Chain A
């Protein structure tokens, strides 16, 4: 990823309301070649509205969307074909085979007959459905349908891929395949906007994170930057037996006690860095704390999200 590259897709100060409810409030974002940007937020945060506006199938109340630096209306067909949308719902034809589904999207997206043959085969192979091409879509498992949904979105090799919660309802194995393929697609030069409420997916494959909540973009940047915006630090989670000394952990340098449940024998201590772990454990022995188990916890997006919004990623925004 190179930040110097011009954005493939850019939203500038877009807002959208549904009646009295403000769904998006002055959101600006961009995606560049080779980059996967995670659009991360709880259900109802405005992710699908954002993607629909980026895909130019929903008009914003204000603001604009630029594809390759130009508004869509300057070349509706040409610029539209730069986009590939993989919606959250399975926008496919259930009675058609996998190949027929992909073929229809390929042709509708402007590929010639010969190009479509080649692209369909490649798209189905890429998502691992090459050997099931002639099977009807309704006979597929949920995960396979998701993979086919992806194949229809990438068959015309769009430089920009918009993915709306593509792994919802997908089993572990299919999810792994899907994530790997999306990463490869971006590595080949595409810009990807990946909408999800699974923060672990964002952490795994995304280069940049856009945290959205109640229609507002509350944080943006690479993973480390967004996590640091939350202000969280590494933690050590202890399980101990017996009594804690008077003054508890106050004598340990560079450590802050952020939660202790005496009745369960558990305590959480925040450190400046993981380099302190040995020192902290030694200090605990000095204090006669009988530690029977401990876990180390790196600050993550979930911590940052909670810190920035006051609620968890899986909470529904009402």
Chain B
């Protein structure tokens, strides 16, 4: 028994060493995922890996506004950007790749606080980036509390020095109210509006890896592809046929997922539900093409699984399927621009949450198809070279 265990262990080690791709993935896949998650979710635990820009419009020009601005300038990880026009602040938020939140200090805020009122700062928010908005609002709330406390402490000491409390009014408290960055838009979203497309894309990628890469690898292994080539079937045609079948399955998978999301979780399907087919087509195409690449580089079943799943999960994570893209540090966001998942999530967010027209999904579609074409060409070239 022990001999069998020992010999089997030795043989497994030999098999593993013979397959460096599996070995690499076993060792480095967790590192990749941990790196992506660590950099992306760092801000949720208090210390973000990157700073955020905060556009601010000061219409108050009073002491309270001055206190807020000075406090924000001292805040770690906040890059304050002073603007003059509230509409410009709104536009900055509604534009992608900018900032999830902008602040407006309304005129008369200082006076209202001094008079014991409860004026509110106005925050323009992007509902798509709700998680970031919440994290930032916690910091702004703390800032308001500190400023209110300082004002009250100052007033209290004045009262004590003058000894005439009846002659002075204690300052009021400072709060904030949310306004949508785009008129008519909601300030909060259904969490499933993010999760359904995000995890749908993740499982689409994994499904494609298993569906395409494993079956292609099997066919190479069984010799069926070679055998069919004898009788004139072109290899390229057979490969594209396989991709097309899985591409259709991918579209059906996403459509079913959206139907279930709508029926069970009440997700938004945007102003034109049919438009959701645009990013769905793009990501199904790119995922199928990626499956071809994985099949062409894999040397064993184990390689397909490890390479495929690692690539799928990394692409989903970096591309914003699991958390907002803006959680990620700059270099990772740059990398994300080259991933089909990023463009697909952008299109789903625009259509489902920002209620943009179908045309908003066309650029992401073009980018996704372009990336997919690169994958297909690379996969075909690799397959054809193996064939020779």
Residues on A lying within 8 angstroms of B by beta carbon are 55-57, 59, 76-81, 83-85, 87, 89-94, 105, 108-110, 152, 156, 158
Interface residues on B, range: 10 to 19
Judge whether B222 and A89 touch: CB under 8 Å.
yes
Task: Say yes or no: B230 contacts A85, CB within 8 Å.
Answer: yes
Contacts of B238 in A (CB 8 A): 108
Residues of B contacting A87 in the complex (Cβ-Cβ under 8 angstroms)? 223, 226-227
Sample of 8 further A-B pairs with CB below 8 A, known A76-B232, A83-B231? A78-B232, A80-B231, A80-B232, A84-B231, A87-B223, A89-B223, A108-B228, A109-B233
B227 contact from A56, A85, A156, Cβ within 8 A: A85
Chain A residues with CB under 8 A of B229:
57, 80
> B8 an interface residue at 8 Å Cβ cutoff?
no
Q: Nearest 9 pairs between A and B by C-beta? A: A80-B232, A77-B232, A91-B223, A109-B231, A91-B227, A85-B230, A55-B230, A108-B233, A91-B224
Q: Which residues of A lie under 8 Å from residue B223 when comparing CB positions?
A: 87, 89, 91
Nearest Cβ in chain B — how far from A160, in angstroms? 10
A-B contacts, 24 of them at CB < 8 A, read: A55-B230, A57-B226, A57-B230, A76-B232, A77-B232, A81-B231, A81-B232, A84-B231, A85-B227, A85-B230, A85-B231, A89-B222, A89-B223, A90-B222, A91-B226, A92-B224, A94-B222, A108-B228, A108-B231, A108-B233, A109-B232, A109-B233, A110-B231, A152-B227
Return the chain A residue nearest B227 by Cβ. Answer: A91
Q: How far is the CA of A90 from the CA of B223 in the complex (A)?
A: 8
| Contact B231–A156 (Cβ < 8 Å) | yes
Give the most central of B222, B232, B388: most A CB within 10 Å.
Answer: B232
* B binding-site residues for A, Cβ under 8 Å: 222-224, 226-233, 238, 388
Q: Is the interface of B mostly helix, strand, loop or mixed?
A: helix
Question: Inside 8 A of A156's CB, which chain B residues have their CB?
Answer: 231
A89 to B232, CA, bound (A): 20
> How far does the Cβ of B214 sit from chain A's closest Cβ, in whole Å?
12
CA–CA, A56 and B226, complex, Å: 10
Residue of B nearest to A82 (CB): B231
Cα–Cα distance between A85 and B231 once the two chains are bound (Å): 8
Per the bound structure, the CA–CA distance linking A298 and B185 in Å amounts to 97
The answer to whether A92 and B232 touch (CB under 8 A), given A59-B388, A87-B227, is: no
Q: Are B228's CB and A105's CB within 8 A?
A: yes
Q: Which of B222, B231, B388 has the most CB of A within 10 A?
A: B231
Within 8 Å CB of B227, what residues of A?
85, 87, 91, 105, 152
Chain B residues with Cβ below 8 Å from A90 are 222
Residues of A within 8 A of B388 (CB): 59
CA distance A283 to B219 in the complex (A): 66
Give CA–CA (A89, B226) in the complex, Å. 12
Q: Considering only CB atoms, which chain B residue lies closest to A149 in the complex?
A: B227
Q: Are the C-beta atoms of A80 and B230 separated by less than 8 Å?
A: yes
A152→B388 CA distance, assembly (Å): 24
Q: Are B231 and A91 in contact (CB under 8 A)?
A: no
- CA separation between A109 and B232, bound complex, in Å? 7
Contact present for B230 and A93 (CB under 8 Å): no
